[in-house]
Amino acid sequence: MSVEAPVAPDERIPEEGPDADFPAATETPAGAVIGVRVRDGGIIEVALPANAEIEGPEARVAGATVRALANGRRMPVLLVITGVVGVSLEARHVYATSIAASAFALVGESPVDRVIAHYLLRSKTETIPARFFTSEAEAIDWLGQYTSED
């Protein structure tokens, strides 16, 4: 899949993505990569890197990539937070003010992931449905009700 969207802090678009699963990605200051892709079924997946703190600048770039992939539509977003160390207040604000998401499913595995998810869920707007899941399959199934045929 080819993605034409800002994927780096300097707003450049690389010739090729970092890997086949996540053709669009942005690096955190520590060099970890946030992957963004459209899954089959019209769900945008954002995979946050394990063992990293997500800060505002990379959250903004990932958000711009999501908006570019959504192309003016509202689409369901699968946010994979497994192993994330933390999310800054600025990054949380970026998540909470998304204009491209029709729904958010947050997926994690550990009790720490659940705490981070609830921190993010507290900030969401009331108009965007959001839930935490420990199963990616259940999250995708739940997001299915928020896909459109546009």
At which residue do the structure tokens 């491209």 appear? 100
- The one-letter amino acid code at 37 reads R
Q: What is the pLDDT of residue 95?
A: 80
Q: How far is CA 85 from CA 31, 124, 130, in A?
A: 14, 20, 21
Q: If we measure between CA atoms, which residue out of 91, 102, 103, 99 comes closest to residue 59?
A: 91
Tens of pLDDT, residues 35-75: 899 998 899 999 998 998 888 888 888 888 998 999 889 99
Q: Where are the domains of the chain?
A: 24-146
> Which regions of the chain are under pLDDT 70?
1-32, 123-126, 149-150
Pair 129, 146: CB distance under 8 Å: yes
Alpha-carbon gap, residue 122 to 89, rounded angstroms:
12
Residue 17 has a pLDDT of 42
Check residue 121 and give its pLDDT.
81
pTM exceeding the 0.75 threshold for the entire prediction: yes
Q: What is the homologous superfamily of the domain 24-146 according to CATH?
A: STAS domain (3.30.750.24)
Instruction: Determine the distance from the C-alpha atom of residue 59 to the mean position of all C-alpha atoms in its chain, rounded to a whole number.
Output: 9
